[in-house]
Structure 1
């Protein structure tokens, strides 16, 4: 019988084993093949015992493995039991030793006060500084000042400037050095509102000038609107301010089109139609220059210029009221622009807002009379005609909040005088909300007004306020 090859042997499964490796495994009592010892030949069918293929340490697949030595630990350790499963208490945690407190000299602690105020010290340095502050009054005072300064570095309020800041700064400067040619008091609201709008326009990008804006007003007791852009709104302000420029002898931005466009709406439409291209940010320069010319001219002409008359086509206003009217419209349209570009915009200062409300209140008797002529207001039934200077039925208009005050509105005739003894109704409104009604941005029926007295009189006055609005 031929001796098998020294290097290869074929088992019954057709596998190949290294013969020398088999001899070494047999010497160690462990091998991959069958154990060819006495009583266990290569074709022995004795079931495998412990240590074979079905026992621990086998190679799996039914192949018998080496016998397990009971004196040695298993090759695959058994799972360990958890301490929580035994019911025994957990071992105590080892607490880390606390670091020794820092011992720092006074100059070092004083130099750390700035970092301590900014909460930039380590825990050890913070403890050392706070222990020192309890014993050193000088450093405690300095730490308090530094903490207050840190509060100023992080203001919780909005970063937008106070709308009254410009007025306060100018008043402070003018108190120290009065202007050689002062701006008339009745022109100050227009000067302030154009400056605020110009500051908003200065920070706008090219794309924002084409943001859509909807101009809103009331006409025939119905809400009306006109779609344009931010640049179109500035063009509208430019053309209507031109009515004041004409009264002062300045150039008209419409040029020769003035005769064909006497009203504010007609002037605006004529300017939009006459433009070769839609208005862009280039319209800011002529509007800004015209507003400066208006303020400069009324300042040089003195207080007497306020008696000039400014024609709006179908009605006229004295120059001092026309400047208030232009300031009011500048603020209203500035809010339209700010809303279109998603930017906050504050109301005018209370002193200027009070003047605007006063102008609207003085125009209400005439507005009520005009509506009555067109059948839009309640008639004066069973009452004699009120002559000039005679008291008649009166509505008390109470404005709360910014620019607040009280006005007695005669109802029967613009020539009548408001009288508390003849009061038939009382209306209370917030100052900004009343201006929104007068601008046509809030419906008279939706105004949150406190109303007491004659309902017809209240309705006549609120709708007359809305009729003051225009494009």
Structure 2
């Protein structure tokens, strides 16, 4: 038998130089109150000294002075001894017995090895997905009267995870520098504080908020849904409410996300970090609550980002993606473990990026940054396709048209195949990776492959 519980200095069969003395396992090292190794007695038991007395080697204890225990009692104490749960007299009696009883010594070794397996180091941090699992279990037993739309679920979960991270870090980290990266034909990297990252999320989230009629985070809080002009629910009332609030004072802020962020930084630079977190979190709660009451028709309302627009359901996925990535940026800055989203949420984020790739590729072609298509096809016509295979949790297969965004993509038209890990693809779409450095399997038309990889990186922004 081998293992960390004993040292075999003999012939490899547990005997020392042919001696038949039973093997005696060592007691685990115990430490004193200040962390120093405890002084050990003659048989491996830590010496018990009265408080205040100097540490010195005690006189050897006599086995005859020990309380008498029969074999059955001593054998029953082996489990407690292996766990260091015996009293001093019991430990000493067991260890003296182990020098005379080979069967008990072997049993003690097996128990000590088993105890070593039970004491694995585990993190005391809660599982980041615990909240999602608890809510899923609760809603499975009692569905919500007004459930959160499925397309808003990823944002709800990622905002909650980021909020838990900020609460765990506390108020001492708001000025910690965080590296934020994106891709603008060349890699761009800038450092901001944790507070600025949260203010950036607040600024871009407010573009979604203004679309559904919520005031900005500094406007004193949203009015009740029924008080907004145009109705007491439904997408019609939501649209009228949005027009109302656009006319009430949000128009002075830029629409383009980068410029809007700069405006938020300028207007909120005096606010402490805890207030920035509170403004962002309150706004995220109002976003989820409002779309939950709005009805299914609200998902198609367009959110204006300035240079582009997204339907509301895609805008929520975009915000979930940003929330996760910037939470990861913060976690990297403070050396904090941070897990990826739940697979079903990650799949929705990857699907959004894949659906945006044909338009991003067309934009690059119009700017002269990508090779022109081999032919122009009308909408719905079959053409060349690239198969994007995403591996791992949340993965799948997507066929992307290469000749025009409206062309039909299919396996029959496949001329190129790219295989990537899901998180690697998300890092590429976030601009955290250069396209030529992305770990991807590539087969087929190399020009089309690199055009698509660069189009994926061009999806990133501040």
TM exceeding 0.5: yes
Aligned to 2:194: 230
For 1:235 and 1:181, locate their aligned partners in 2 and report how far apart those are by CA, in whole Å: 30
The 1:97/1:261 distance shift into structure 2, 3 A limit, reads: closer
Pick from 162, 185, 197 the counterpart of residue 197 of structure 1.
162
Pick from 372, 378, 381 the counterpart of residue 387 of structure 1.
378
Aligned length: 365
Q: Could you tell me how far 1:167 is from its partner in structure 2? A: 2.2
Kindly report the root-mean-square deviation, in angstroms, between the aligned alpha carbons of the 2 structures. Answer: 3.1
- 1:409-449 per-residue CA deviation (whole Å, 9 max, x = no partner) reads 11111111211111111111111010000001111111011
For 1:208 and 1:416, locate their aligned partners in 2 and report how far apart those are by CA, in whole Å: 49
The 1:367/1:208 distance shift into structure 2, 3 A limit, reads: same
Aligned to 1:433: 424
The 1:113/1:230 distance shift into structure 2, 3 A limit, reads: same
Q: Determine if the alignment matches structure 1 residue 188 to structure 2 residue 153.
A: yes
Aligned to 2:47: none
C-alpha contact (below 8 Å) 2:210/2:216 kept by paired residues: yes
The 1:98/1:450 distance shift into structure 2, 3 A limit, reads: farther
Task: Please list, as runs of the form range in 1=range in 2, the aligned pairs for 1:439-458 lying within 5 A after superposition.
Answer: 439-458=430-449
Q: Could you tell me how far 1:378 is from its partner in structure 2? A: 0.5
Q: Could you tell me how far 1:165 is from its partner in structure 2? A: 2.6
For 1:263 and 1:460, locate their aligned partners in 2 and report how far apart those are by CA, in whole Å: 25
- 1:261-291 per-residue CA deviation (whole Å, 9 max, x = no partner) reads 0111111001112235265332011111111
For 2:96 and 2:61, locate their aligned partners in 1 and report how far apart those are by CA, in whole Å: 17
Q: Could you tell me how far 1:299 is from its partner in structure 2? A: 1.4
Pick from 394, 413, 417 the counterpart of residue 404 of structure 2.
413
Q: Determine if the alignment matches structure 1 residue 295 to structure 2 residue 288.
A: yes
C-alpha contact (below 8 Å) 2:387/2:416 kept by paired residues: yes
Q: Could you tell me how far 1:149 is from its partner in structure 2? A: 9.3
Q: Determine if the alignment matches structure 1 residue 248 to structure 2 residue 216.
A: no
Pick from 150, 155, 178 the counterpart of residue 213 of structure 1.
178
Pick from 322, 328, 335 the counterpart of residue 329 of structure 1.
322
Q: Could you tell me how far 1:251 is from its partner in structure 2? A: 1.1
For 2:295 and 2:190, locate their aligned partners in 1 and report how far apart those are by CA, in whole Å: 38
- 1:377-429 per-residue CA deviation (whole Å, 9 max, x = no partner) reads 11123x2x211111211111111112111111111111112111111111111
Task: Please list, as runs of the form range in 1=range in 2, the aligned pairs for 1:394-409 lying within 5 A after superposition.
Answer: 394-409=385-400
Aligned to 1:125: 94
The 1:410/1:107 distance shift into structure 2, 3 A limit, reads: same
C-alpha contact (below 8 Å) 2:299/2:313 kept by paired residues: yes
Task: Please list, as runs of the form range in 1=range in 2, the aligned pairs for 1:97-136 lying within 5 A after superposition.
Answer: 103-104=69-70, 113-118=79-84, 122=91, 124-125=93-94
C-alpha contact (below 8 Å) 2:171/2:274 kept by paired residues: yes
C-alpha contact (below 8 Å) 1:113/1:129 kept by paired residues: no
C-alpha contact (below 8 Å) 2:63/2:96 kept by paired residues: no
Aligned to 2:142: 177
C-alpha contact (below 8 Å) 2:373/2:403 kept by paired residues: yes
The 1:411/1:150 distance shift into structure 2, 3 A limit, reads: same
Q: Could you tell me how far 1:354 is from its partner in structure 2? A: 0.8
Give the TM-score of the pair, scaled to structure 1.
0.70
Give the TM-score of the pair, scaled to structure 2.
0.72
For 1:403 and 1:253, locate their aligned partners in 2 and report how far apart those are by CA, in whole Å: 33
For 1:107 and 1:440, locate their aligned partners in 2 and report how far apart those are by CA, in whole Å: 68
The 1:309/1:156 distance shift into structure 2, 3 A limit, reads: same
- 1:177-196 per-residue CA deviation (whole Å, 9 max, x = no partner) reads 22222111111111111111
